């Protein structure tokens, strides 16, 4: 076992055990209300059988993730590891929700006892139920149950609940020929994560085509790691059609940086194979390149950069190289996978009018209802989902078509974006 894996296990497993023990403490108090001893004991056994099984699966995941994926190399290669991750999250999040409320109950109970001791007053009629304030834990248990149902929906239905998001943007400098241009963006397909759910993905692709796009952008992370993930999917993906073509860029996952390779040559061949397959499917891959999109003797510039990332994300992007033949007075669209690139090198530093990104997935978990837009992604990314505008420059961050690691979508739907460009009236 690699030292870093051992360190992770040394931290993660004790934390899971601690969560299990404290959750059981709270449940045991609530189970006292069940008069049937057999039922009460059965529920305790079920709890520990489930919890211990999850711990064993977690340990096996750390040992076998890479081996399982590399060994099988089929449409279901990611099924076992991603299913284990789903089980782990479904197990932990409701428990964490419950223990939050149970901790509040414990604090209230200890405070109540301390007050009683200080005042030296005894309440002979108050029993354990009153002293324990168990209604707090009961509320926590109910909310945890709702959360459990929400997670189960996310892994069964939510990941295929494709949502079309529509935006209309106006620009002073948009050429008249491009007034009304319909751009469809999809991002982060992570095709290997879909196992063999061909019909569900095909419905999403058909939904893209139904939008009658002038041009389609794929903004990175077509795969998780390996070009062979596209086996069985090429006939579906090559159905993507647009009048002006389908353009793509590479995301951080497309380079195979998260996989184990025997040699650097093997990794390089994987990327070359991915590029070859994209070409075969009819995608024009832009690697730090610019193309002119022509229409009625007018043109706009489409710039595509390789993955540009901060921190642990590899940086292959070169915006200066991509824009070396750019004209100052031409309307410009940039495809850049990671939205942090926009703030670092694009916004207020270039005359790029509109940028399309992805990468964040909206963390595949959050709440988006009228008046509320929240996800843990907002604590990692300033620009994490939807449309942003600063100083007449726009950024659109797509929430992703697919998913990775956690095989689900909870509150953050898989997204297909259609942006209509309009020339602002003088």
Q: What pLDDT score was predicted for residue 130?
A: 43
pTM above threshold 0.85: yes
Q: Which of 256, 344, 259 is nearest to 305 (CA)?
A: 344
Model confidence pLDDT, tens digit, residues 236-275 = 999 999 999 999 999 999 999 988 898 999 999 999 999 9
CA dihedral 299→215→212→175, nearest 10 degrees, is -20
Model confidence pLDDT, tens digit, residues 406-420 = 999 999 999 999 999
For residues 308 and 338, is the Cβ–Cβ distance under 8 A? Answer: yes
Phi and psi dihedrals of 413, rounded to 5?
-70, 150
408: tokens are 């689900």
pLDDT band of residue 133 (cuts 50, 70, 90) is: confident
């Amino acid at each position: 076992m690699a030292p870093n894996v051992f360190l992770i296990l040394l931290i993660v497993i004790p934390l899971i055990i601690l969560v299990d023990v404290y959750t059981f403490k709270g449940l045991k108090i609530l189970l006292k209300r069940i008069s049937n001893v057999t039922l009460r004991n059965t529920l305790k056994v079920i709890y520990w059988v489930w919890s211990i099984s999850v711990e064993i699966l977690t340990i096996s995941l750390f040992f076998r993730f890479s081996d399982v994926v590399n060994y099988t190399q089929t449409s279901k290669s990611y099924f076992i590891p991603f299913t284990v991750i789903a089980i782990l999250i479904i197990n932990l999040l409701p428990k964490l929700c419950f223990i939050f409320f149970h901790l509040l109950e414990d604090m209230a109970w200890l405070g109540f006892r301390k007050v009683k001791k200080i005042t030296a007053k005894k309440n002979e009629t108050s029993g354990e139920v009153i002293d324990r304030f168990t209604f707090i834990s009961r509320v926590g248990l109910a909310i945890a149950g709702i959360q459990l149902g929400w997670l189960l929906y996310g892994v069964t239905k939510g990941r295929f609940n494709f949502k079309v998001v529509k935006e209309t943007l106006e620009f002073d400098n948009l050429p008249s020929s491009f007034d009304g241009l319909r751009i469809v963006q999809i991002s982060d397909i992570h095709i290997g994560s879909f196992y063999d759910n061909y019909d569900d993905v095909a419905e999403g692709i058909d939904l893209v085509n139904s939008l009658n796009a002038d041009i389609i952008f794929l903004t990175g992370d077509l795969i998780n790691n390996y070009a062979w993930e596209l086996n069985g999917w090429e006939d579906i993906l090559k159905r993507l059609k647009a009048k002006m073509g389908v353009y793509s860029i590479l995301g951080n996952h497309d380079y195979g940086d998260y996989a184990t390779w025997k040699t650097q040559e093997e990794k390089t061949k994987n990327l070359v194979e991915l590029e070859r397959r994209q070409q075969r499917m009819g995608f024009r891959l832009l690697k730090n390149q610019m193309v002119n999109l022509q229409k009625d003797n007018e043109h706009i510039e489409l710039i595509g950069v390789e993955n540009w990332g901060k921190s642990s994300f590899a940086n292959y992007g070169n915006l200066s190289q991509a824009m070396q033949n750019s004209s100052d007075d031409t309307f410009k669209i940039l495809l850049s996978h990671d939205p942090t690139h926009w703030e670092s090198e694009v916004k207020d530093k270039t005359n790029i009018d509109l940028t399309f990104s992805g990468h964040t997935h909206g963390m595949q978990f959050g709440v988006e209802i009228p008046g509320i837009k929240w996800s843990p992604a907002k604590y990692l990314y300033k620009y994490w989902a939807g449309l942003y505008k600063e100083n007449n420059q726009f950024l659109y961050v797509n929430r992703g078509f697919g998913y990775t690691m956690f095989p689900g979508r909870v509150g953050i739907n898989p997204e297909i974006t259609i942006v209509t460009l309009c020339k602002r009236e003088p």
